[in-house]
């Protein structure tokens, strides 16, 4: 029982430390993107990729904001095979992103090279970038976005659960406000 009490207390604390102002800014950025005909592109690895898939569907279906993710195995393996795993996100963005899009990059550690290279490419191209990371507050991804959301935890599941809750809260905000 002690483990679960500590775990759930920690998760609750981290979720409640949500940067409400930044979540509102992200929501408004996504709304403006949709209004000008852009799309939201969500990318992550592993559990973060699953979050990207879930949130893309909710944004599209529930919030009416067109969203996609890069989790199709043939896309990932083709681009990774041709350009190297560390460059596949950048190359997929080169092929699929439009200038009026918003890119949401999710990385628990904030140190995944494919995610970092995607952020650098999108920023250089003028595409709006939103990052979600955790672990060290000064991780590499935490400064590469126009809006950077950081979870104060070094536990993967705490970080990933928080990312998902914050992103789904943004979807709900877009539906309600």
Whose CA is closest to 115, among 72, 85, 94? 85
**pLDDT tens, 4-34?**
999 999 999 999 999 999 999 999 999 999 9
Assess whether pLDDT exceeds 90 at residue 1: no
CA–CA distance, 176 with 24 (Å, rounded to integer): 12
Q: What mean pLDDT, rounded, does the chain reach? A: 97
Whose CA is closest to 144, among 166, 121, 162? 121
Number of folded domains that form the chain:
1
CA-atom Rg of the chain in angstroms? 16
Mean pLDDT calculated for residue range 100-121 = 98
**pLDDT tens, 48-61?**
999 999 999 999 99
Q: Looking at residue 90, which CATH number applies to its domain?
A: 3.40.50.10490
**140 lies in which domain range?**
2-176
- Confidence (pLDDT) at 77: 97
């Amino acid at each position: 029982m002690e483990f679960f009490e500590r775990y759930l207390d920690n998760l609750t604390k981290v979720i409640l430390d949500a940067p409400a102002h930044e979540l509102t800014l992200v929501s408004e950025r996504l709304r403006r993107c949709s209004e000008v005909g852009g799309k939201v592109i969500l990318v992550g690895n592993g559990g973060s990729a699953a979050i990207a898939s879930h949130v893309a569907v909710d944004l599209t279906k529930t919030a009416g904001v067109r969203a996609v993710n890069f989790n199709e195995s043939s896309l990932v393996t083709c681009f990774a095979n041709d350009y190297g795993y560390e460059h596949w996100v950048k190359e997929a963005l080169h092929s699929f992103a439009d200038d009026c899009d918003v890119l949401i990059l999710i990385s628990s550690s904030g140190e995944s090279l494919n995610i970092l290279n995607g952020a650098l490419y999108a920023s250089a191209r003028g595409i709006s970038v939103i990052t979600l990371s955790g672990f060290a507050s000064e991780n590499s991804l935490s400064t590469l976005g126009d809006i950077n959301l950081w979870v104060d935890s070094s536990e993967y599941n705490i970080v990933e659960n928080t990312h998902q809750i914050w992103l789904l809260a943004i979807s709900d905000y877009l539906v309600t406000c």
